[in-house]
């Protein structure tokens, strides 16, 4: 009788569910049954692509059809003549921890044909608190809380304040590296093709060149273009329509040129 044992209670099942995707709570509307800004997971196309990133890739203040994941799938569908369905699992304020966790869950449940990741800031983390809740940490959020620009409850304020004092400039990229290696492990194990780009800002790019040089990140996985902030969305923070259009076109061309299966269809 293990049902009520400590061992089952102590695992964060909500964030690592078996046989399902973890539910998220995005502020944009509409979302699917699991809270992601994409079609329902059982609404599968002939080709199914996962997109992962942060608020840049989510584009929550833009129309759904104007974000790069929608543009890429629309163009690929038109080119191929059959349904290419995109599942955008991007999430505001998240980083490498969220991306590795979500890919892990998605590979067990969604069976994608291709996975695209647009990496955000390396300093963001997920922390699983004693009550089992996932708390998003970033130095920027910690500053905003300390300066009372963002309101959170007392426990979250103390936890984030402690993390700000504890984590160093060395820990941040190392956490990103550990998650990158995990993603590489997960993707290699399944054999599903995947590729990576990064947000075109300093926070995302700062250590990349060094990680490539030291062979800690596999440069071949990274596209030679980044998601650049050419214009700004109505939220005054994330990439605007033009930025999504340019990045979507680059990604579409890259997929046509580099993905054997898509090239064959083409």
Q: For binding to other proteins (CB under 8 A), which residues are involved?
A: 2, 6-8, 10-13, 15-16, 18, 100-101, 104, 126-130, 132, 158-159, 162-163, 165-171, 173-174, 177-179, 181-182, 185-186, 188-189, 207, 210, 213-216
CB-wise, 2 or 148, nearer to other proteins? 2
CB-wise, 59 or 173, nearer to other proteins? 173
- The SS3 call for residue 126 is strand
CB of 216 to other proteins, least distance (A): 6
Which are the contacts of 28, defined by CB distance < 8 A and separation ≥ 6?
A: 37, 58, 60
Pairing relationship of beta strands 47-52 and 114-119 according to DSSP bridges = parallel
CB-wise, 71 or 183, nearer to other proteins? 183
CB of 250 to other proteins, least distance (A): 29
Smallest CA-to-CA distance from 219 within 211, 207, 231 is with 211
CB-wise, 16 or 82, nearer to other proteins? 16
CB-wise, 181 or 229, nearer to other proteins? 181
CB of 31 to other proteins, least distance (A): 25
CB of 179 to other proteins, least distance (A): 8
Which are the contacts of 26, defined by CB distance < 8 A and separation ≥ 6?
A: 35, 36, 37, 58, 60, 91, 92
Question: Is the alpha carbon torsion for 31, 34, 35, 39 positive or negative?
Answer: negative
CB-wise, 129 or 146, nearer to other proteins? 129
CB of 258 to other proteins, least distance (A): 23
| CB-based contact 191:220 (threshold 8 Å) | no
Helix (H) or strand (E) holding 115: strand 114-119
Distance CA(194)–CA(81), nearest Å, equals: 22
CB of 226 to other proteins, least distance (A): 20
Distance CA(45)–CA(34), nearest Å, equals: 18
């Amino acid at each position: 009788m293990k049902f009520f044992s400590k061992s089952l209670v102590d695992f964060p099942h909500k964030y690592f569910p078996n046989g399902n995707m973890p539910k998220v709570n995005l502020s944009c509307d509409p979302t699917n049954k699991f809270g992601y800004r994409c079609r329902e997971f059982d609404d599968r196309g002939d080709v199914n692509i996962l997109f992962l990133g942060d608020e840049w890739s989510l584009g929550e203040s833009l129309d759904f059809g104007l974000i790069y994941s929608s543009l890429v799938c629309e163009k690929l569908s038109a080119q191929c003549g059959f349904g290419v369905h995109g599942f955008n699992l991007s999430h505001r304020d998240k980083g490498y921890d969220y991306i590795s966790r979500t890919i892990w869950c998605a590979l067990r449940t969604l069976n994608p044909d291709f996975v695209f990741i647009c990496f955000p800031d390396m300093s963001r983390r997920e922390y699983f608190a004693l009550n089992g809740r996932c708390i998003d940490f970033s130095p920027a959020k910690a500053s905003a809380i300390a300066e009372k620009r963002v309101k959170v409850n007392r426990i979250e304020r103390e936890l984030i304040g402690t993390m700000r004092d504890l984590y160093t400039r060395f820990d941040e990229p190392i956490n990103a590296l550990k998650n990158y290696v995990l993603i590489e492990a997960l993707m290699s194990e399944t054999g599903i093709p995947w590729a990576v780009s990064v947000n075109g800002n300093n926070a995302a790019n700062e250590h990349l060149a060094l990680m490539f040089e030291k062979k800690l990140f596999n440069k071949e996985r990274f596209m030679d273009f980044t998601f650049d902030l050419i214009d700004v969305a109505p939220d005054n923070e994330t990439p605007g329509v033009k930025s999504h259009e340019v990045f979507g076109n680059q990604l579409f061309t890259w997929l046509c040129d580099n993905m054997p299966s898509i090239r064959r269809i083409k």
